[in-house]
Amino acid sequence: MDLYDAALALQRAQDHYLCWREMHDAVTALPSGGAVPPWVNETVASMHTDAELRDRDQAALWLAASESRIRLGLRDARVEHWYQQGKALRYALILCRNRLEGLARQVAGSAAPTDPAPESHDAAQTPDLADAPAALELLREQVGVLGVEIAAWESRRRPVERVCSLRDLQAILADPRHPADKQQLESVVARATSVSLPPSLPCVQLRWDAVSGQIDRADVVAAEGLEDAPPTNDSCALGSSDNIAA
C-alpha cells in the first residue's frame, strides 16, 4: 500500500462511519417496530453489505453488531494513512538529499582543472551548470522544509494531554466527523456526569493518541468556574476534525 491507496482507504472508512452514524440517528428516532426508510437499505448496500433491514429492531441489532467493526476500521485506516504519510516524506527527503549531493559533486568536479575535450564532446556531455548555485540553494531549502514536515508528522503520534469540560466532550460527541473514539468518550462522559463535585463542575483530564483517537487515560477532576466558561472545543480536540477529511 502507498499513500494514495491509504488515502482512498481512509476516505472509504470515513464514508462508512458517517453512513453508519446517519443510519444510527435515523433508526434511533423510529418507534419500536417502525419500518426502516428505503434510503437506509440503499446505504447498507453501498457499504457492500447484503443485509436487508425491515424494521427498527432489526436495524438496531445490525447497527450494534457492525459498530465495532466500522469504528476499528476507521481507526486502522487513520493509523495506516499516518504511516504512509511519513513513509512518503522520508522517501522525498532521501531523493532531495541525493540530488543535492550529486549536484554538489558535479559542481565541485566542474571547478577542478581538466584537459580540454573536443568541442563536439563538450556539447554532448558537459551539462550547463550556470544555474547550479540557485539549484543547490533550492534543494537545501527543500531538505529543510521536509525535515520540518517530518518532525511535525512524528509529533502527531505523541500522546496528548488536555483538561476538557463536559461541554467540550459533548461537542466532540455531537460532531460525527471528529476522529475521537466515541465509544470511549461516551463511557468517560457517563462516568464524569455520575460524579458529584459541588460547587465545582466536573471536568476530565484526558490522555490520547492523536492519530487514532484512542484514549488511554481519563481522570475526572473538579474545576471551579467552568459553569460560566464558554465552550473550549479547541483546547481538548482529540485530533483536528480536518484529519478525518485528509
Digit-coded pLDDT (tens) for 187-215:
888 888 877 655 456 788 888 888 888 88
pLDDT band at 125 (very low <50, low <70, confident <90, very high): very low
Q: Which residues lie below 8 Å from residue 47, measured CB to CB, with a gap of 6+? A: 16, 19
- Is pLDDT larger for residue 139 or for residue 229? 139
pLDDT at 119: 52
Residue 123's pLDDT band, with cuts at 50, 70 and 90, is: very low
> Which of 31-40, 182-191, 201-210, 234-243 is predicted with the least confidence, judged by mean pLDDT?
234-243
Amino acid present at 17: Y
Answer with the residue of higher pLDDT: 181 or 83: 83
pLDDT, position 118: 52
Percent of the chain with pLDDT over 90: 23
Taking residues 10-29, what's their average pLDDT?
89
Burial zone of 33 (CB within 10 Å; 0-12 exposed, 13-18 middle, 19+ buried): exposed
- Which three three-digit cell numbers place residue 58? 432489526
Cβ atoms within 10 A of the Cβ of 80, count? 19
pLDDT tens track for 66-101: 988 888 898 899 999 999 999 999 999 999 999 999
- The C-alpha atoms of residue 48 and residue 12 are separated, in whole angstroms, by 11
Please indicate whether residue 52 or residue 234 has the higher confidence score (pLDDT): 52
CA nearest neighbour of 163 among 210, 217, 244: 217
pLDDT on residue 224:
54
In this structure, of 21-35, 156-170, 197-211, the range with the lowest mean pLDDT score is: 197-211
Q: What is the pLDDT of residue 167?
A: 85
